[in-house]
Amino acid sequence: MSCKTISAKEISASYREELKTMIKTRGIKPKLVGFLANEDPASIKYAECTSKTCEETGVIFELRKCNREELKDQIIEANEDDSVHGIMVYYPVFGDLQDQYLQNVVSVTKDVEGLCQICNSYQNIPYLDEEQIKNYIIPCTPLAIIKVMEYIRVYNSVLLYGNRLHGCVITIINRSEIVGRPLAVLLANEGGKVYSVDINNIQEIHHGTELKLKTYEVRITNLKLEEILPISDVVITGVPTPSYKVPTALLREGVIAINFSAFKNFEDNIKEKASIYVPTIGKITITMLERNLLKLYDRQLSLKNEE
C-alpha cells in the first residue's frame, strides 16, 4: 500500500501565515509566558520550539524557569500582570493531582492551554462547530489533532456537525487529562466511536447513534489492544516513552496513524500498513496555542474597553 506522510509544517503553514498577517496588520504585541519547572527533555524541546515559532509570527514569548515549589506563586504573579496575555505551564510538574490543581491556578482569562475547569465546559456541549471553536479555548494539542484530521479529510464535511465522524472507529493510546481525555470527548461528540487506552483499561466513549444521547457516554470494556487495533480506522498515540511501539502487524490495512508523542510510538514499518502517517504535530500544537493567545488578547482588550 502507498502511504502518504504528512508533516506538521505543511498542515500548520496557512494558520501561521494568518497569525503573522493578523499581528502585523493590527500592530499588536500579544505576550505569552511559559513556566518550566522540570527537567523533562520533551518539555524543554517544546519550550524551544514555542520560542522559535512565536518569534516567527510576532508573539512575544518569555520562558520563566523556576523550581516547582515556587511555581504557584509565580503563576499568580503572572495572573495579575496586565502585560501578560497568556500563560502556559510545561507539564508534568509534580505528575499527580497537584498538576491538576496548578491548572486551575492559571487565570481563566489567560489560560492559553484551556486546561482549567471553567475552560473545560466545552466538553458539555454536543459538538463544536467553527463558531463555537471561536468562543471556547480548546486545549491546544487536542485541537491540533482535530485540525490534522480535518486536513486529511477524516471528517466528513457533507454531514452535519456532530455526525462528521459517524461510522469512524478511533483508538487513542493516551488518557491524560491534558490531551487524551479531552480529545476522546471531542471526537466522540462528532459521532465517532472512540477507544481510550491507558495502562489500566480500555474505555469506549461515544455519543450514541446520531447523537441520541444528550452527553457522551463512557463505558469500561474488557477488550484488549489486540482486539481494537484491527478494527480502528484511526490510531492516535501519545505515550511519553521511547520504548513503546504500536505493533504494525495488529493494524488494519489503510489505517490513519497520528503520533503526538515526543517519541516515535509507531514501528519503523508503519508505512506498510498506513494510508496516511503523521509522525509529529508539534508545530500545529504551537500554532493552536498562538490562536488561543489572540482570542485571550482580544477578550482582555474588550474588558478594558468596558471599564
Q: How far, in Å, are 26, 107, 296 from residue 86 at the CA level?
A: 18, 9, 7
φ, ψ of residue 70 to 5 degrees: the values are: -90, -10
Cα 162 from Cα 155, distance rounded (Å): 10
Residue 62, classed as helix, strand or coil, is strand
Strands (E), the chain: 4-5, 31-36, 60-65, 86-89, 169-173, 193-197, 202-206, 217-221, 234-237, 255-259, 274-278
Tell me if residue 119 is catalytic: no
Closest CA to 284 of 82, 144, 110: 144
Cα 104 from Cα 113, distance rounded (Å): 11
- Helix pair angle (282-306, 8-26), 10° resolution: 20
Cα 277 from Cα 266, distance rounded (Å): 10
Cα 152 from Cα 117, distance rounded (Å): 31
**Grid coordinates of 14:** 496557512
The amino acid at 297: Y
- Identified catalytic residue from 54, 116, 119, 140: 140
Cα 101 to chain centroid distance, Å, stands at 19
Whether a cis peptide bond, with omega within 30° of 0, leads into 126 is no
Report strand pairing: 193-197 vs 202-206.
antiparallel
| Active centre residues (catalytic) | 140
